[in-house]
Amino acid sequence: MSEFDWVLKGRCYRLGDDVPHAGGVIPNRYIIARQFDPAELIPHLFEETDPGFHERCRPGDIIVTGRNFGMGPKMNGYIAMRALGLGLVCESMPFLAYRAAIGEGLRVLTDCPAVTEICGTGDELEVDFRNGLLVNRTRGVSREYPPMPEALMDIVALGGNSGWLRRWWQERQNA
């Protein structure tokens, strides 16, 4: 595979605290239906709070959230975010939400205290997920947050758990 892009440059899309996965990220009906097809999910990302989001966002854009993002182990919204080429930076997320995002191959930083105070929707951001450096070009500020754990970077670079397993099996067959 080609070199994975660990640095995203794009616009900020800021959300508040306690955004639930069901409703806040993607309508609950797609979660209940166990819909995991990115093409089916993309049109509905943030649909209930911001219809048409998927048409306005661009690859490289970064969703910046407050505390407790995602709430629970659901992964449908992260599938859509990854397919759209987006990144995610959170003040905090429940661990199972974080694990679900990693498992879908999403570039994600969590435990970034007060990040919503230095970013606003539309700001030009640059985030390096390898070292946790966030630069807000619009405001001329930067912060260092905990990077993605090195041990998990393989999973994200390979597109999530399925991609990781596929390569693991191929390597085993070739060994």
Partner 1 sequence: MGMTAVEKVLARASGRARARPGEVLYPVPDFIMIHDGVVMGAKRELDALGIDRLAAPDKVVMVTDHDVIYGSVRAAERGDFNRKAARQWGVQNFFDVGRGGHGHIFPMETGMLLPGMFYFDNDRHATNAGAIGAFGFRVGAEISRVLATGTNWVMVPKSARIRVSGSLKPGVHARDVGFHLATRIANGSLAIDLDYRVLEFVGDIGQFDLAARTALCSSPTEMRAYGVFFPPSDKIIALATARAQRPFTPVYPDADASYEADLVLEVGALEPQIALPGGVERAVDLSQVTGTAVSHAFIGSCGSSMYEDLVTAASILSGRRIHPGVRLFIAPGSERSTKRMIDDGIMKIFIEAGAVLLPAGCGPCNDAVIGPVHSGEASISTAANNNSGRFGARDAKLYLGSPATVAASAIAGKITDPRSLAASQEVLRLAREAA
DSSP tag of 72:
S
* Residue 135 sits in the site that holds partner 1 (CB under 8 A): no
Strands (E), the chain: 7-14, 62-65, 87-90, 107-109, 124-128, 133-136, 141-144
What whole-number distance in Å separates Cα of residue 124 and Cα of residue 139? 8
Considering only 1, 3, 55, 151, the residue that binds partner 1 (CB under 8 A) is 151
Stretch that binds partner 1, among 9-17, 46-54, 97-105, 129-137 (CB under 8 A): 97-105
Least Å from the CB of residue 120 to partner 1 = 28
Stretch that binds partner 1, among 20-28, 52-60, 81-89, 91-99 (CB under 8 A): 91-99
- Region class of 72: left (phi > 0), else alpha (psi between -120 and 50), else beta: left
As given in the structure block, the two tokens for residue 36 are 């995991």
Least Å from the CB of residue 61 to partner 1 = 27
Binding residues vs partner 1 (CB under 8 A): 73, 94-96, 99-100, 103, 149, 151-152, 155, 161-162, 164-166, 168-169
